[in-house]
Amino acid sequence: MALPAHEILKKYFGYDHFRHQQEEIIQKIVSGKDVLVLMPTGGGKSVCYQVPALMLDGICIVISPLISLMKDQVDALKSNGIAAAYLNSSQNYKEQQEILDSCYRKEIALLYVSPEKLISDLTTIVQMAKPSMFAIDEAHCISAWGHDFRPEYIQLGLLREKFSHIPFVALTATADKVTRKDIIKQLNLKNPEVFVSSFDRQNLSLEVRIGIKPKQKLIEIISFIRKHRNQSGIIYCLSRNKCEDVTSALIEAGVNAGFYHAGMSSAARAKVQEDFINDELQVVCATIAFGMGIDKSNVRWVIHFNLPKNMEGYYQEIGRAGRDGLPSETILYYNYADLTMLNKFAAESGQAEINLEKLKRIQHYAEADICRRKILLNYFSENLEDNCGNCDVCKNPRRHFDGTILVQKALSAIARMEEKEGAMMVIDVLRGSMKAEIMQAGYNKLKTHGVGSEISAFDWQRYLMQMLNLGILEMAYDENFALKITDRGKEILFGKRKAELTALQPIVRKEKKQELRQVETVDYDDELFNKLREIRRQFSLEEEVPAYIIFSDATLHQMAKTQPVTRREMLNITGVGEHKLEKYGSIFLNTIDNHIKNQSGIRQRI
């Protein structure tokens, strides 16, 4: 007879309590209901199907799009004492047959498989592995409205008809309302229960840096990495070339970095990913178009070198940081060139209208002068009452000023240039440039030529971005990104409305404490933590699995803080289940005991 859900959670995963909604989701699945789960990265989605897999008779077939993610999940399950395996194109026929034989003998509880493999070999797989349920991970991939649409997911809708008697669970970390509806429709889910968890990752700090020049960006990033010397991080770039350029600059500065993008061979990508997961590489520069599909829990920071294409992608990418719940940092760099390039990509895409709209939303987030987390959560239909206290806007509240005259200068220049020019030409005219192309067009004779010479080109860029964001201007991407004046802009130009702008240098003042949520800080014995981390590293090398699969940083922090010395105390540490206690308990307990004795001896000598 299967154990109850709570006992499975404690025995195999080392947790005393389920997180919000997990238990209810598990109950629905076990009772045979279809379920759609929207939970943030690091929110505990996998437990929602892994626990029922151990309660139901048969095998849970998990559909996952990435080989690397399958391997991670299977390694983690095995480390917890749960029988799991995966089937994909990296294995030969004999290896696949052995796994299917194990399934037939009911020796495996969870079988991970790619959508292509499942559809092509469906009859064989379900004959050998009698399914108790299907779990579709990264379910947003089935929707053309999703940010990571994959054609191979489309055929999964046929499964629901073939297996009408067993529950289906679809899981995703990012899906807006349109995508949610489409997932249900495409997968043919039967009256599914929909669970939407909070998308608020309070441990992630949010920062946006606007208008920083490329060389300065690199200087700042290198300085940041040096201050976070032993911490893993990811830098997302817009292009493959940029990934390689940034990596070269980091290596030159003495940073242990590698790049990862779709233009590399699969072997080269696998090597970089493996080195990063095993803490052999500190930093990976990856294209935002090519998700890394990693389950590494101790990524401490994520930097976006360029503006992402949409909020879903951005949220998923920053979600790779702090999966263990510990404080982690995210920084987004954003400038006008990014916006121009992304507008072009969106305009030329198959879904120009929706992609342009999604780009506007991430632009709005990047240029925000209110709590960023409020905007981010609002995108996923969640409201935050108080300011978060853990974003750059909350830490440095913005000052506003009457920018009517400044805006009128820009609008007048644009109108006199017949709304035919892009931002850089407009700025050159406002600053009184005598470049050949300005003379040639006769723009040097305009009344507005030079009326904004006291403002730097860099600051004009930022003001124009605010004007775009406020709906004073719009960009005609199909007319070489010419700036056009909106109806609202015309009202300001003709003195019928005022324009309030945000000062470019934010003022720093203390907010009332109750307006800002407190962010948890971590307090532990640093010396002991490093000793425990070294033991974990030795185990990971011996077993050839990532270190965080042995124990997460959060589990080691708790050990270093509470310093358990008995097996019962060790079982009270979050993330220590019975299997891991048997396997690793003695050496970790001995190390903690010796550390306490050494500290006691030092204090006595003092």
DSSP conformation letters of 538-597? HHHHHHTS-HHHH--HHHHHHHHHH---SHHHHHTSTT--HHHHHHHHHHHHHHHHHHHH
pLDDT reported for residue 133 = 96
pLDDT reported for residue 479 = 81
- Residue length, the chain? 606
Low-confidence ranges of the chain (pLDDT < 70): 1, 145-148, 289-294, 477, 505-524, 601-606
Domains of the chain: residue spans and CATH: 5-196 (3.40.50.300), 204-395 (3.40.50.300), 400-505 (1.10.10.10), 526-605 (1.10.150.80)
Place of tokens 């407009």: 426
Beta-bridge partners for 301: 233, 329
> Could you tell me the pTM of the whole model?
0.72
pLDDT reported for residue 364 = 84
468: its two tokens: 């775009």
Q: What is the pLDDT of residues 408-442, one digit of tens each?
A: 999 999 999 999 999 999 999 999 999 999 999 99
Would you state the torsion angle of the CA atoms of residues 592, 594, 596, 601, taken in this order, to the nearest 10 degrees? -170
pLDDT reported for residue 167 = 96
| Calpha distance 593→128 (Å, rounded) | 48
Q: What is the pLDDT of residues 113-132, one digit of tens each?
A: 999 899 889 999 999 999 99
Beta-bridge partners for 124: none
79: its two tokens: 């480390």
Beta strand 283-287 pairing with 204-210: unpaired
Asked if 343 and 238 count as a contact pair (C-beta separation under 8 A), the reply is no
The amino acid present at 208, given as its one-letter code, is V
pLDDT reported for residue 188 = 92
Asked if 338 and 238 count as a contact pair (C-beta separation under 8 A), the reply is yes
| Calpha distance 396→464 (Å, rounded) | 22
| Calpha distance 275→282 (Å, rounded) | 9
Q: Give the helix/strand (H/E) hosting 77.
A: helix 67-79
376: its two tokens: 């981010």
Give the angle 258-260-264 at the CA atoms, nearest 5°.
Answer: 115
